[in-house]
Structures are given as structure tokens and as C-alpha cells.
Amino acid sequence: MGKTSVTLGLASAALAAGIPTLVVDLDPHADASTGLGVRPEGRTDIGHLLKNARRGDIEADAAPSSWLSRAAGDASLTRPPVLDVAFGAAFTGIYDRPDLRARDLRRLSALLSRTSIYSLVLIDCPPSLNGLTRMAWTASNRVLLVAEPSLFSVAGTERTMRALDLFRTEFAPELATAGVVANRYRPASAEHRYRLDEMRSMFGTSLLSPVIAEQANWQQIQGAAYAVHHWPGEAARTAASHFDDLLRNVTDSGKLRSRASH
Ligand SMILES: Nc1ncnc2c1ncn2[C@@H]1O[C@H](COP(=O)(O)OP(=O)(O)OP(=O)(O)O)[C@@H](O)[C@H]1O
Ligand SMILES: [Mg+2]
């Protein structure tokens, strides 16, 4: 758990750093699109774009995030910022089958191969490891996994790692694992400290720094469709700086496509 939250945190950091970014919301529930304050206004959702992968124009149909209105006054940005969203819809669910054919797995790569304006593409995935997540892996340079320091989440991340290894061998030898993000960490909890130690020994250097702590006002920030970098107060400022560090640690050149998993 925490895929969408980490995607949004990284998108917020990319916006603050002036990195032209596209968020692809592959989850039929479209939580990332909601958090990014997207208004479709006649544009085509990602599900229908995937259906028309040979001709679909993801740049034309991606909607600007409402976060941009608050970034306009950011004097540190030398160029007008770009944060677009290939927004999610229930229709995307037609591709979330366990038996998706290789031809279908390449639909997102085909759409992205015709974009040139983004330096970073973040793909938010549904919780299943079916067609949509595999389509994201096929289109990505790197995969970022997100886990809470809890028993089931750590076990789930190990399963995802194994599925990813199999997928890499069969379909995508170049695909790298960017690492595992520990999210929603509560340092005061003995259980969380124990699970974080377990993650350190299990994932070694793949466990990314920094660890993202549990944030008291996180739902409020997401519910208001705010970038964490634009939310007032010390707690949000600390969280924002952690996402700045995480973004730096998962991208070396900024020219990467990443995807979040559970
Ligand atoms: N660091 C955090 N601090 C506080 N709450 C968090 C944090 N990260 C995630 N949450 C909350 O936990 C819930 C699940 O997080 P999120 O939606 O990011 O997970 P997900 O992996 O995308 O879930 P799904 O698989 O359902 O799409 C949300 O309500 C979110 O606000
Ligand atoms: Mg999600």
C-alpha cells in the first residue's frame, strides 16, 4: 500500500524541481487523477487511449494537473512547469486480465514512444499483478516498489519482486528495479521498527532512502488535491523534502520512466 501516495509525492517533487512530467494513471479507480486535480474536459482517458494505441495521442489527451495553478508563482522555476496526467477511468479495467497477450502488453509503450516533451513518466498501477501492471513494466525503465512496514505488505513486496524477476527474464531483460520505498513508517511503533529492520535485511541496498513516515494530515492533503510541496506547515515541508531526496535517488538523469507497485 502507498503506491498512489508515493507517485503523488514524486510528482510533487518533480514539479518543484521543474522536471517536465507525465503521470499515467493505470488504476481503474483513478485515485492519482483525483489527487492531481484533473478535469478531463472532453479529453480521452488512458483506457480508451490504450485501446487505440496505434494512433492515440497521449500528449494531446493528457490533462494538466490543477497543481500547476499554485506552481505559477514559484520564482525558482525558469520555464513554465509541465505536469500532465493521462487520467484513469474504469474502462482501463478491460486490460487487467491475468492472460494479457504480448501484443497488448506493448500498448502503453506504443503510446509513450510518440511523446517527446516529458523528461519523467510516472506510472501508477492497480494493486493486482495482472495485465495493467505488466503493461506498465513493459513500458518502464525502472520499477519502484512501495511497502508499509507490516507483515503482509513486506511479504507482498517479496512476491512482487519474484514476479518481476520472472517477467524480466521472459519479456524485459533491460528492466531495472529502482528499489523498495518503505512508506507510512511510525518510528514510535515497536512493530514498525522490527519490520523496517526486517526490510533492511531482506532488501539490502534495494531499500531506498529516505523512509517515508506516516503523515497525520496526508488524507487532508490528498483530499484537497494539493501537492505536498504546496501544503503549509512544518510537517508537510519535511515530507516534501523527503520526496525531493527520493526523486533524486531513483532518477540519475531525470530521463527515466518509473512505476510504483505495492
Ligand atoms: N505516508 C503516509 N502517511 C499517512 N497516510 C498515508 C501515507 N501513505 C499512504 N497513506 C494513506 O493510506 C491509504 C492507501 O494509500 P495509497 O492510496 O497511496 O495506496 P495504494 O497502494 O495506491 O492503494 P491501492 O492499491 O488501493 O491503489 C490512503 O488513504 C493514503 O492516504
Ligand atoms: Mg493506488
pLDDT band, residue 77 (cuts 50/70/90)? confident
* Ligand 1 atom having least distance to the Cα of 148: 8
- Position 18 pLDDT exceeds 90: yes
Q: Domain containing 83: what range? A: 3-261
Nearest CA to ligand 1 atom 26: 127
Please work out whether the CB of residue 25 comes within 6 Å of at least one atom of ligand 1: no
- Beta carbons within 8 Å of 198's beta carbon, 6+ residues apart: 149, 154
Confidence check: pLDDT of 85 > 70? yes
From 4, 130, 157, the mutation candidate for ligand 1 (largest count of ligand atoms within 8 A of CB) is 4
What total number of domains does the chain contain? 1
Band of the pLDDT at 258, cuts 50, 70, 90?
Answer: low
119 pLDDT higher than 70: yes
What is this structure's pTM?
Answer: 0.95
CA of 101 to the centre of ligand 1 (A): 30
pLDDT class of 256 with cuts at 50, 70, 90: very low
CATH at residue 250? 3.40.50.300
Out of 181-185, 223-227, 233-237, 248-252, which region has the weakest mean confidence (pLDDT)? 248-252
- The H-assigned helical ranges of 42-106 are 46-51, 58-61, 68-71, 102-105
CA nearest ligand 1 atom 8, residue = 2
What pLDDT shows up at residue 240?
Answer: 98
Mean pLDDT of 163-168: 94
- Residue showing cell 495485465: 131
Instruction: Output Rg (C-alpha) for the chain, integer angstroms.
Output: 17
Rounded Cα distance, 59 and 20, in Å: 12
- Closest atom of ligand 1 to CA, residue 124: 22
Q: Which ligand is nearest to the CA of 128?
A: 1
Task: Find out whether the beta carbon of 183 lies less than 6 Å from any atom of ligand 1.
Answer: yes
Produce one character per residue of 167-197: b if its CB has 16 or more CB atoms within 10 Å, e if not: bbeeebeebebbbbbbbbbeeeeeebeebbe
State yes or no: pLDDT of 252 exceeds 80: no
- The string of pLDDT tens digits covering residues 180-213 is 999 999 999 999 999 999 999 999 999 999 999 9
For the record, the C-alpha cell of 80 comes out as: 513554465
What is the residue-averaged pLDDT of the chain?
94
Distance 76 CA to ligand 2 centre (A): 31
CB-based contact 107:223 (threshold 8 Å): no
The CA distance from 85 to 18, in Å, is: 16
Q: Among residues 228, 234, 224, which one has the least CA distance to residue 71?
A: 228
Closest-CA residue, ligand 1 atom 12, reads 2
